[in-house]
Amino acid sequence: MSSTKILDFTNPTLNGTIIVPGDKSISHRSIMFGAIAKGETTVSGFLLGEDCLSTIDCFRKLGVDIKVEGTNVTIQSDGIDHWQEPKEVLYTGNSGTTTRLMLGILSGTTLHTVLTGDASIAKRPMRRVADPLRLMGAKIAGRENGQFTPLAIQGTQLKAIDYTMPVASAQVKSAILLAGLRAEGTTIVREKEVSRDHTERMLRQFGAQVTVENGVVSFEGGQQLQATHVNVPGDISSAAFFLVAGAIVPNSNIVMKNVGINPTRAGIIEVLEYMGATMKVEVEDETAAEPTATITIQTSNLTGTIIEGDIIPRLIDEIPILALLATQAEGTTIIRDAQELKVKETDRITAVVNELKKLGANIEATDDGMVIHGPTKLHGAKLQSYGDHRIGMMGAIAALLSSSPIEIDDTDCIAVSYPTFFEHVNSLLNK
């Protein structure tokens, strides 16, 4: 049953240190790669969010032995050739990453499988993945010719393709690359705008030879992955909510340790710098598979900016909370080239604009983004989360600025990516 929260803060300040949960994208992939590889893969810092637990559930149904102890996970696999055909449908919950990447992985097996998810997943477009996989020979059936779940996959021998990405999407790219592991020949993916590169990094971490040059990723099929250890850094998309809170809530100073700062994900840091945030980024380990940093953010005088072009894929998930940030900045902020927001967990352009308007924000939607005029004072209202974790968290951070209580429906959805979100808010309050 969904939960409603009424948030009422009086002159809050946020001070202290937190360690945000593990990166969702990397947590998903650690399970997938560990299941494909032969041997024992260990994972530390795993995100115990509902989406990542859906990925674990799917691989357990394929016969892979996965043990979870806190944020440590052990995956014992005899390799992809020894998976068992599942007796039931693989349920991916609310996770687009699980659904789309599993399509690529399962297409090259010998198994017959069916993927389905919740009501949100049933509306999300899947042909953007199914079509390039079909070019490789994949046998995928589903509603509207594979546009929507449920999707049935009859595993078969695949052939490599040379594919130019029509849109920047790490999920589509990753599905093709994971299918390419089992394909004959050299798989090539060409990107006009570089999307997050966790798959390429993890392929190398598991022993594959991968070439990445000028937006072109290529590698030979038939490579065997070798089990390894994966250390999952903190998720910068989760840290984003506290980066924004620290910048806009008066008299605040927040320190976040072990935050992943992968260059294909760290666009929000650049935007905060453009807007004049008082922030310090101290790199912890640049040589790791995924670089990390300690980030300190303080209450800041912010100026509006334009967010567009090739930075958009590097902060697409952070746009809802950046829109809230922009309501407190001096001047106008324009967000363009963000059409992908329309096919996320909900139409995030419409959702963000509708909910922030309820709070008194001066914001309007455009075809590919939004325009926000600031600064504006925010007041209370009843907000919808739309079952979207990032909209729910945006509303909760807005409540820290609101002159009266904010009520948010279905805050349970926040557990998808940040199960300890409200604990962290409370730990920072008025210290």
Annotated binding site: 24-25, 29, 96, 124, 169, 171, 317, 344, 348, 390
Kindly write down the DSSP assignment for every residue of 327-344, as one continuous string.
HTSBEEEEE-S-GGGGGS
Q: Which residues pair with 139 in a beta bridge?
A: 154
Contact 78, 38 (CB under 8 A): yes
233 DSSP 8-state letter: P
Q: How many CA atoms lie within 13 A of 236 on its CB side?
A: 25
Whole-angstrom Cα distance, residue 41 to residue 102? 19
| Locus of tokens 């509207």 | 144
Query: Residue 41: CB partners within 8 Å, gap ≥ 6?
Result: 30, 33, 34, 74, 75, 77, 227, 228, 229, 230
Cis peptide leading into residue 375 (ω within 30°): yes
Binding positions for 3-phosphoshikimate: 24-25, 29, 169, 171, 317, 344
Residue with tokens 């944020």, as numbered in its chain: 71
Q: Is 333 left (phi over 0), alpha (psi -120 to 50) or beta?
A: beta
- The string over 103-142, giving b where at least 16 C-beta atoms fall within 10 Å of a residue's C-beta and e elsewhere, is bbbbbbbeeebbbbbbebbeebebbbbbbbbbebbbebeb
Angle between helices 267-274 and 319-327 (to 10 degrees): 10
Which of helix, strand or coil describes residue 155?
coil
User: What backbone phi and psi angles, to 5 degrees, belong to 224?
Assistant: -95, 125
317 catalytic per annotation: yes
Q: How is residue 96 written in tokens? A: 């687009």
Cα separation, 83 vs 426, in Å, equals 44
Catalytic position from the list 317, 388, 409, 410: 317
Compute how many other C-beta atoms are within 10 angstroms of the C-beta atom of residue 371. 18
Residue type, 347: D
Active-site residues, by number, are 317
